[in-house]
Amino acid sequence: MITATNNPSKKEIKEIHLDILKWKSSLRFIEGEIQFINQLLNSYVFEPDTPNLFERLQEFKKQIEAIEKEMQNINQDIRTHESKLGGMLECDTISCDNFYYKNHTSVWRTFDDFYKNFSRSKSEIFLYAGGVLRKN
């Protein structure tokens, strides 16, 4: 799991930027995982006589679609957050700094929740798929 290091409200700009770079890297990796999962779910490697196979695969495809939409939103949030990072350099009050720290914490929590949900869904898909693969 990729998380913000230490307390986000006590970070230096450099540390905040490193968090952002980690999030972006993780999202690129997840994009590759999603591409693989989509190929798996749309392949013909499953035992065709598996009960409710079609329904389960459709359910997983919907989960992945929702994850992809959520990932687009998170990507946008991260880009917006990163573009505003320069504003922290111009802050000359504690309340101004607090605004940026609160925003960082919010983006961090959103990313962390997304990452946990994606990991759960991925595990569920792999456990199911592993149990219904063709034997030969």
Give CA 78 to chain center in angstroms: 11
Going residue by residue through the chain, which has 136 residues, state the pLDDT in tens, using 9 for 90 and above: 554 444 444 568 889 999 999 999 999 999 999 999 999 999 999 999 999 999 999 999 999 999 999 999 999 999 999 998 877 777 777 777 788 889 999 999 999 999 999 999 999 999 999 999 987 6
Q: Provide the sign of the torsion angle of the four alpha carbons 96, 101, 103, 106, taken in this order.
A: negative
Whole-prediction pTM: 0.84
Neighbours of 136 (CB within 10 A): 3
